[in-house]
Chain A
């Protein structure tokens, strides 16, 4: 560079153009537009929460927190409580995760760690993404007409041999039950876990794996001690997303849970979830009953909010570990 020789006068010859008016307007306009849209999204959220709570107010005033621990839902006597539904909601989601987490992570590992040639993994990966596209009402029907008859003998055998265990107890299982809901939910959420975990593994640098293998670690040691810890935040967020989906899933629960308004510890027996309760009752509900359903909706929103906040905390913690 010869800039040392350049004097001040000549540097003024450099012509820096003014910003064009039209692009200025576009810039400002775009910023304002996105600002309005994002504020609108926030307002929408607050409105939904406020108006649901408002509609729930009569029930909140009448039942208070007892609503959460009462296990009766009696429109005739106007006594409402959602304990069985809270139990059903949490239990079906949890059990669905018990099935879906190992399956989803296992699938992701299979698809990314060179266990099979591409002509096998590509179609499998594609099929898994497509499961997400199945409407839940179709899965519900499938649950009623295919899955329930198919697993009934298995459920009966488990129920007979393990009656002493509360989760499998009760009379011989017939059809709808919380466990059936969990199974169908796990089918719905497994692809979420599999595909997010898969892209997490794919985004990890390849030389991380090579580094572990070069130290004499086996393939499994590499997956368990390097790949999974390195991808933990992605795996955890996939699980949390899946859990949110399971908590909020309505159609499947309404169709195959049995909608039983009593608390039943056993997963083999008919139960009910908050979503199923609302979907099956709002049509012919009286005034206080609608308010009670709204209250149940508020409870569900708080439940999912708590789960999401917990998830956020967990993910942050893992991310800190990685840095």
Chain B
């Protein structure tokens, strides 16, 4: 990949005056007694897209799952270090992980619509959270924001699982938007999709960036360079027989792809490793 062509395709949005949604200091995640990722420190700016890239097993998904405390669901997972969300410690003892997830939505690698109608899929979040809203309106606006409305408006009663893969993923995005989150986490949202669907999701992310903070984990470096404002490059280190992930470099996407300060980052974005 030629780094110069990347800068041409890159979004030349002027850097906004940023505040930080998340601040991580020395975050380590353990599965059992083995560290999966160690000593990560970074700040995620608001209303921007932050991409996590790196080879398999580098801990990028693990770190992503810390933001909405879904690591709690894995037996034996343990988080050390500090993670603040708008200044509040997300891992403080009195924080209810369920209420954290109401503000921080997530889109998964494999589209996972519920075996319910398209309408009920989008209405699920507002219903279960008991939001006092006009459901019809929420469903319509969410589907419109997810660029799916025109394709499904005549078949809202049909099962969400009857849609194509790309449509299902946009349905999952609409479902996440319906609870009016502050942040959307995306865990390789396009890895199961064809290039056309991928393109649509990427366009969608650029639109959503106006109102939401987005963090995306991706294997696809071009995708990171196309959509993101900030990029974090993770790598794997062998400690004994354990593979431990670490954050190598975190900077503006242009810097990471054109002028990274670390040799390992350069090797990775230029395709020489990973």
Check: B22 CB closer than 8 A to any chain A CB: no
Closest A residue to B124 by CB, please name it: A215
B159 contact set on A, CB distance < 8 A: 322-323
Check if A211 sits within 8 Å of B112, measured CB to CB: yes
Stretch at the interface among B30-38, B55-63, B98-106, B242-250: B98-106
* Interface membership of B73, Cβ < 8 A: yes
Contact indicator per residue, chain B 77-116, by CB within 8 Å of chain A (1) or not (0): 0000000000000000000001101100110111011111
Q: Report whether A208 and B114 are in contact in the complex, using a CB–CB cutoff of 8 Å.
A: yes
The reply on B1 being an interface residue by CB < 8 A is no
Residue B201 CB within 8 A of the other chain: no
Residue of chain B at shortest CB distance from A226: B114
Nearest neighbor of B101 in chain A, beta-carbon distance: A216
Q: Does A12 contact B (CB under 8 A)?
A: no
Contacting pair B75 A215 (CB below 8 A): no
A221→B128 contact, CB < 8 A: yes
The reply to whether B108 and A207 contact each other, CB–CB distance below 8 Å, is yes
> CB distance A218 to B108 under 8 Å?
no
Task: Decide yes or no: A212 and B73 within 8 Å by CB, A221-B128, A225-B128 being known contacts.
Answer: no
Contact of A216 among B73, B110, B129 (CB under 8 A): B129
A117 on the B face (CB < 8 A)? yes
Contact A212 B114 (CB under 8 A): yes
Contact in complex: A210, B124 (CB < 8 Å):
no
Q: Is B197 an interface residue (CB 8 A)?
A: no
Contact A211–B172 (Cβ < 8 Å) = yes
Interface size on B, residues (CB 8 A): 29
Contacts A225-B124, A323-B162 given; does A214 touch B70 at CB 8 Å? yes
- Given the interface pairs A210-B108, A225-B128, the reply to whether A322 lies near B68 with Cβ below 8 Å is no
B129 and A214 within 8 A (CB): no
Please give, as numbers and ranges, the residues of chain B lying within 8 Å of A210 by CB-CB distance.
Answer: 70, 73, 106, 108, 112
Determine the interface band of chain A, counting residues with CB < 8 A from chain B. 20 to 34
User: Is chain A's binding surface mostly helix, strand, loop or mixed?
Assistant: helix
Q: Which of B98, B162, B176 has the most CB of A within 10 A?
A: B98
Residue with the greatest number of chain A CB neighbours at <10 A, chosen from B125, B128, B172: B128
Q: Which residues of A contact B124 (CB under 8 A)?
A: 212, 215, 217, 225-226
Chain B residue at minimal CB-CB distance from A232: B115
Within the assembled complex, what's the spacing in Å between the Cα atoms of A221 and B110? Answer: 22
Asked whether, in the complex, the Cβ of A205 is within 8 Å of the Cβ of B112, the reply is yes
Partner of B116, one of A114, A216, A229: A229
CB within 8 Å of B: which A78-102 residues: none
Nearest B residue (CB) for A322: B115
CA distance A214 to B179 in the complex (A): 11
B residues less than 8 Å from A214 (CB atoms): 68, 70, 101, 105-106, 108, 176
Q: How far is the CA of A226 from the CA of B112 in the complex (A)?
A: 12
Please give the distance in Å from A229's CB to the nearest CB on chain B.
Answer: 7
Q: Which residues on A sit within 8 Å (CB–CB) of B179? A: 215-216
* Smallest beta-carbon distance B199→chain A, Å: 23
Determine which of B73, B110, B113, B129 lies in contact with A213 in the assembled complex, contact meaning CB atoms within 8 Å.
B73
Q: Give the docked Cα–Cα distance between A207 and B114 (Å).
A: 10
- A-chain residues with CB within 8 Å of residue B115 when the two chains form the complex: 208, 229-230, 322
Interface residues of A in 179-213 (CB under 8 A from B): 205, 207-208, 210-213
- Residues of A close to B98: CB separation below 8 A: 213, 216-218
CA distance A208 to B112 in the complex (A): 6
Task: A221 to B129: give the CA distance in the assembly, Å.
Answer: 10
| Chain B positions within 8 Å of A218 at CB level | 98
Q: Does B175 contact A (CB under 8 A)?
A: yes
Do B99 and A216 touch across chains, with their CB atoms under 8 A apart? yes
Closest Cβ–Cβ distance, residue A1 to chain B (whole Å): 22
- Alpha-carbon gap, A139 to B115, bound state (A): 40
Residues in chain B near residue A221, CB distance under 8 A? 128
In the complex formed, the residue of A with least CB distance to B129 is A216
Contact partners of B116 in chain A: CB under 8 A: 229
Residues of A within 8 A of B99 (CB): 216
Q: What are 11 A-B contacts with C-beta separation under 8 Å?
A: A211-B172, A215-B125, A215-B129, A215-B179, A216-B99, A216-B129, A225-B124, A226-B124, A229-B116, A322-B161, A323-B161
Beyond the given A215-B124, A216-B102, could you list 16 further A-B residue pairs with CB under 8 A, ordered by the A residue number? A208-B112, A210-B70, A211-B108, A211-B172, A215-B101, A215-B125, A215-B176, A216-B101, A217-B124, A225-B124, A226-B124, A229-B115, A229-B116, A230-B115, A322-B115, A322-B159
The residues of B with any CB-CB pair to A shorter than 8 Å are 68, 70, 73, 75, 98-99, 101-102, 105-106, 108-110, 112-116, 124-125, 128-129, 159, 161-162, 172, 175-176, 179
* A residues whose Cβ falls under 8 Å from a Cβ of B: 114, 117, 205, 207-208, 210-218, 221, 225-226, 229-230, 322-323
